[in-house]
């Protein structure tokens, strides 16, 4: 696959997947998701790769989730080779690849981008990074891994706060809550992520595979919730309420959700 929305490189034992749409704060469309799945599978198949780093291009954003402007323009997340928006499959691939995945969060990790870093095995954040959810503000949600697994990471009260209030949190707060493992100066982020990947590469790959599968086993049932949630989201985003959120975002105005209370 020739990549348009991402970059894929291999440095020694480390594959680096970079979401490369800085003009859209690295928000993903259907094509972006498809390319990321392909890149993760390349890393999976490459016996020389022992860890994967996921990051974003530029200094402003790691990823801000689904491209809401695209959704406002076309009513969906754009075309892909498969004809589907495979964000659920991307989540599953990040969990299933038998190699540790390190999120190197270089800026905003918001909405679906926040879900991506939470699903990674480890997260290292620049001191300029910010974290949060935005779905209820733009007519979207992740009632699968994005909420259920998040609650496992930070606890029920914090997870509900993150989703219900849609605030943004700095890297120090994210580290204190257990959302990230380390916070480093922004200029050192990728170098530090590579050092962690190199440290992982010194370990037995077979034991790491079993450990990752063991950690996942406790929450694999959430995949069923995720499938259900993605089906519901597909219906919701085409509803008047879902479209109101996307249109308001594109038009830079406050959404008028009050008309849907009790609907």
Annotated binding residues, written as ranges, equal 77, 108-112, 140, 252
Among residues 164, 67, 170, 182, the alpha carbon closest in space to that of 123 is found at 182
What order of strands is seen across the sheet that includes strand 6-11?
6-11, 14-19, 51-56, 101-105, 122-126, 182-184
- For CA atoms 92, 97, 100, 102, the dihedral sign is negative
Give the Cα separation of 14 and 238 in Å (integer). Answer: 40
Residue position matching structure tokens 């959810």: 133
Distance CA 199, CA 28 (A): 30
CA-to-CA distance for 41 and 171, rounded, in angstroms? Answer: 30
Whether residue 32 contacts residue 181, with contact meaning beta carbons closer than 8 Å, is answered with no
Which residue in 116, 105, 110 sits closest to 37, CA to CA?
116
Which are the contacts of 227, defined by CB distance < 8 A and separation ≥ 6?
A: 88, 144
133, two tokens: 């959810």
* H or E element at residue 161: helix 156-165
- Binding residues for substrate, as ranges, are 77, 108-112, 140, 252
Answer whether 67's CB lies under 8 Å from 205's CB.
Answer: no
Distances (CA, A) of 232 to 75, 89, 120, 141, 221: 16, 16, 24, 9, 18
């Amino acid at each position: 696959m020739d990549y348009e929305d991402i970059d894929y490189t291999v440095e020694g034992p480390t594959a680096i997947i970079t979401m490369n749409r800085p003009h859209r704060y690295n928000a993903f469309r259907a094509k972006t998701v498809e390319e990321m799945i392909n890149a993760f599978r390349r890393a999976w198949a490459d016996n020389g790769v022992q860890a994967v780093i996921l990051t974003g291009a530029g200094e402003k954003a790691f990823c801000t989730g689904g491209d809401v402007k695209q959704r406002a323009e076309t009513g969906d997340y754009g075309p892909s080779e498969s004809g589907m928006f495979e964000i659920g499959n991307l989540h599953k691939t990040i969990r299933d690849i038998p190699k540790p995945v390190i999120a190197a969060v270089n800026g905003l990790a918001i909405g679906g981008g926040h879900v991506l870093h939470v699903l990674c095995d480890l997260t290292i954040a620049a001191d300029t990074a910010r974290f949060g959810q935005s779905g209820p503000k733009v007519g979207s949600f992740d009632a699968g891994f994005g909420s259920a697994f998040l609650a496992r990471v930070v606890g029920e009260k914090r997870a509900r706060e993150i989703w219900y209030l849609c605030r943004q949190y700095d890297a120090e707060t994210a580290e204190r809550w257990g959302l990230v493992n380390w916070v480093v100066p922004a200029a050192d982020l990728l170098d530090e992520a590579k050092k962690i990947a190199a440290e992982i590469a010194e370990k037995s790959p077979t034991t790491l595979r079993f450990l990752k599968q063991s950690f996942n086993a406790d929450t694999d049932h959430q995949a069923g919730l995720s499938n259900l949630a993605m089906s519901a989201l597909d219906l919701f985003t085409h509803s008047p309420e879902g479209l109101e959120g996307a249109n308001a975002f594109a038009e830079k105005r406050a959404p008028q959700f009050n008309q849907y209370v009790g609907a």
